[in-house]
Amino acid sequence: MLDYALLDALAAVLREGSFERAARALHLTPSAVSQRVRLLEERLGQVLVVRSNPTRATPAGRALARHVEQVGLLEHELLAELPALAQGVKGRVTLPVAVNADSLASWFIAAAAEATADAPLLLDLSLDDQEHTAEWLRSGEVVAAVTALADPVPGCRSLPLGRLRYCATASPAFMQRHFGGGVNADTLAEAPSLTFNRRDRLQAQWIAQVLGHDLPTPTHWLPATQAFVDGCRAGLGWGMNIEPMVRPALARGELVELVPGQTLAVPLYWQHRRRALPVLEALSRAVLKAAAAVLEPLDAPAPRA
């Protein structure tokens, strides 16, 4: 039989990233948490936690942590169906969710706030590129994700959210300095761009859309959505910014489009585990509502360039 006191300690260490923070979350001493994890490892005969900063799970530790998460969700569902069992039981359920940074910056927070306002729900958000968040679902590390993948991950439902539109923007001074002769292969090859991280392909996709072929460009690495807007406004480089976020700056003339009307639309989907847990269904409803307020419908015609 599994000892859930030991498993809860393991899950807390992996969730919190250290034995000290896990101890605070569990209202135990760090030594007590360490002893529980060590005892679990001794019983199973293998290492479950890599003692690094932050702590990391071994494959076996990750599997056990997923099991604890699933048990917690099932218990929450049972207590909702049988309120008598909930007498004297306190606590919140934590849902691990993967989301891309631009959705988090533009509309996802509204969904999170609505879903958690009147529910005993906490969110554990992991950031990744929309092209890769589905990998978190496949691995079982999250129960839901905002993703660019339309086809459902095995065991999941896929719901369309809409298109997040991006504009290639820069400051007027940057445009004059780097694109005085026009936006073409030669000028794009010399003008610094802004790239979120090594997985960010938006700039490359826009260039391929405009030129019809790939083109390497010099880049500043800038891993923050608001910093993209600020960096473009300051003349650091040109970048692909979320259209709703730069609309006011474009209207004021603080930013201009590299090629007017030549935007890039990224379709987004909400994928979540098929099991209809009430808290997950509530989060899904809030996500669909918040996305509809900001994103373009997927069946709407794209604006003409």
Summarize pLDDT for 3-34 with one digit per residue, the tens.
888 888 998 898 889 999 999 988 889 899 99
| Structure confidence by residue, pLDDT tens digits, 261-270 | 999 999 999 9
Question: What is the full DSSP assignment across 126-180?
Answer: EE--TTTHHHHHHHTS-SEEEES--SPPTTEEEEEEEEEEEEEEE-HHHHHHHST
Instruction: Read off the pLDDT of each residue in 247-259 and give the average, rounded to a whole number.
Output: 96
- Report the Cα 219 to chain-centroid distance in Å: 23
* The pLDDT value given to residue 71: 73
Is residue 259 within 8 Å of residue 134, measured between CB atoms? Answer: no
Residues of each domain in the chain carrying CATH 1.10.10.10: 1-88
| Structure confidence by residue, pLDDT tens digits, 42-82 | 888 888 899 988 998 888 888 888 787 777 766 666 555 65
Q: 281 phi and psi, to 5 degrees?
A: -65, -40
Task: State how far the Cα of 146 lies from the Cα of 159, in Å rounded to an integer.
Answer: 10
Residue 89 has pLDDT above 70, yes or no: no
* The pLDDT value given to residue 76: 61
Task: Return the HEC string of 23-63.
Answer: HHHHCCCHHHHHHHHHHHHHHHCCCCEECCCCCEECHHHHH
| Structure confidence by residue, pLDDT tens digits, 109-154 | 999 999 999 887 889 899 999 999 999 888 878 889 999 999 999 9
For the domain spanning 1-88, the CATH number is 1.10.10.10
Tokens coding 123: 């969110």
Instruction: Identify the three-state secondary structure at position 226.
Output: helix
Picking from 43, 42, 20, 41, the residue whose alpha carbon sits closest to that of residue 32 is: 20
Is residue 6 within 8 Å of residue 39, measured between CB atoms? Answer: yes
* The pLDDT value given to residue 303: 47
Say whether domain 164-265 belongs to CATH 3.40.190.10: yes
Residues of each domain in the chain carrying CATH 3.40.190.10: 164-265
